[in-house]
Amino acid sequence: MALPTDHNGMFIQGMTDSEELQKFLTLKFPQGEVQETYDRRLDEVKTVSKQDSKTPLRAFWKMVDRSFDQKSEPLQCQEGCGHCCYTAVAATQLEWDGILNNARENDIDLNQVIERSTRTISKVRKVLDQGKDLEQVDWHRLVINQPCPFLNDDQSCMVYEDRPLDCRMVVAYRDACTSKNLEHAQRAVVVDEAVGPTVIARLQHEQTPKIKRRKFTGSQKVRLLHHWLILWQEKNKKKKRR
Ligand code: SF4
């Protein structure tokens, strides 16, 4: 089934269904191009990371930014537009570690970040009080239409340099966004969207100590940012109790 695109073959409208997105990516980018880009990105990550003394993930973000910059259509996204930031944002462990690193570098108090999300967090606590664990929480339902915990009052992102792939791939070319329905946001615009999750999974795999590594399957577990924050809080509480 053909998916709705504009005259440039770009997918228009916010894409939130990952299966639908994968189908679209398969149609849009030939397998050979995806494979070749994946291999090239992994090599480039190593070189740039060494050259610029950056983490491999930051080196990859640099490449993703460059891919968007090379698009002919000017990006309409600007600082202070947080329309994409009222939805569920997922991140792998590696991306979350990047956010933690950013918070450390910029003195961001994560306890205050959690405080900003009390509405969501208190709903999570209620679910936990019913005897469920964090993995059983229906996270997407709880965070829908809620601001991301890292969204500043001026609608800018606190951890912009290290925001996850999920945030980087919803962009507006056609027009400035005017509602939270992301109707101007476009996905599957650059080939990095097709290879990004696998590159990140590979980097995470390579950074995991050999003794703890499982067979590489091409993907890594993702959790919503609220979920990572609560896990961080729980871990800290345990450390303090020791
Ligand atoms: S991490 Fe930043 S860019 Fe992503 S949703 Fe949150 S505030 Fe927006």
H/E/C letters for each residue in 44-85?
A: HHHHHHHHCCCCHHHHHHHHHHHHHHCCCCCCCCCCCCCHHH
Provide the domain limits for residue 207. Answer: 11-241
> What is the percent of the chain where pLDDT is above 70?
85
Decide if 126 is inside a domain. yes
**What is the Å distance from ligand 1's center to 42 Cα?**
25
Decide if 1 is inside a domain. no
Ligand 1 site residues, Cβ closer than 6 angstroms: 85, 89, 148, 150-151, 157, 159, 163, 167
Decide if 51 is inside a domain. yes
Decide if 207 is inside a domain. yes
Decide if 6 is inside a domain. no
Quote the number of domains for the chain: 1
The rounded distance, in Å, linking the Cα atoms of 171 and 186 is 6
What does the mean pLDDT of the chain come to? 85
Q: What is the pLDDT of residues 85-120, one digit of tens each?
A: 888 899 999 999 999 999 999 999 999 999 888 888
Decide if 2 is inside a domain. no
Question: Has residue 1 got a pLDDT over 50?
Answer: no
Kind plus residue range of the DSSP H or E element containing 87: none
The residue-averaged pLDDT of 41-46 equals: 95
**What is the Å distance from ligand 1's center to 50 Cα?**
27
